[in-house]
């Protein structure tokens, strides 16, 4: 074996973990057909989260053939009322977010800290690293430690990929119109 190859292999093996990593948190239980109360709670959560802005970020992250096509997609998206976006996203998202989590997240995003967090999320510039979240005051720190909110934020984090996928699917449906 050549010395460089042997050294490279040794370095790679030395850096490899010896044990298995802990499994990721299990995603929230999915429901095939959510009831009306669950859909309504998720719709209120999507409204509090300003999901129409999330749709714009999904559209902005998509690839387009040219700038004209990009402008066309944003024009079509601007014609859709925010209430329609909440309504159309509510059913698929309700399959992965529970009523308690949706209610807790609605209250969180309606709070001053939640609004500041959304402001920073949707109005920050594109960067390689996510921006630092706003600094909470003492009352907001206490609110962030509530077990129900902690669990709801974990549930939202585990459902994030599904929510983004559903937002992309909705964007595709809007574009086809």
User: Distance between CA atoms of 150 and 133, rounded to whole angstroms?
Assistant: 16
Mean pLDDT, range 81-85, rounded to an integer: 96
Pull the structure tokens for residue 177: 């119109």
The stretch 98-127 carries a mean pLDDT of 90
Res 18 pLDDT > 90: no
Question: Between helices 147-176 and 51-61, what is the axis angle to 10°?
Answer: 60
CA 173 to chain centre: 19
- In tens, the pLDDT along 20-56 reads 333 333 444 677 788 999 999 999 999 999 999 999 9
């Amino acid at each position: 074996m050549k010395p460089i190859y042997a050294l490279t292999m040794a370095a790679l093996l030395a850096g490899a973990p010896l044990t298995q990593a802990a499994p990721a948190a299990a995603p929230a239980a999915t429901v095939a057909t959510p009831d009306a109360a669950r859909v309504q709670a998720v719709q209120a959560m999507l409204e509090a989260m300003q999901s129409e802005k999330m749709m714009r970020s999904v559209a902005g992250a998509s690839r387009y053939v040219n700038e004209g096509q990009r402008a066309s997609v944003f024009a079509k998206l601007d014609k859709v009322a925010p209430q329609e976006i909440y309504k159309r996203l509510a059913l698929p998202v309700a399959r992965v977010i529970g009523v308690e989590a949706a209610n807790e997240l609605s209250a969180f995003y309606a709070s001053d800290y939640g609004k500041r967090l959304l402001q920073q999320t949707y109005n920050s510039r594109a960067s390689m690293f996510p921006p630092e979240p706003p600094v909470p005051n003492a009352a907001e720190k206490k609110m962030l430690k509530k077990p129900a909110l902690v669990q709801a934020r974990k549930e939202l984090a585990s459902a994030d990929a599904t929510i983004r996928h559903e937002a992309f699917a909705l964007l595709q449906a809007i574009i086809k119109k």
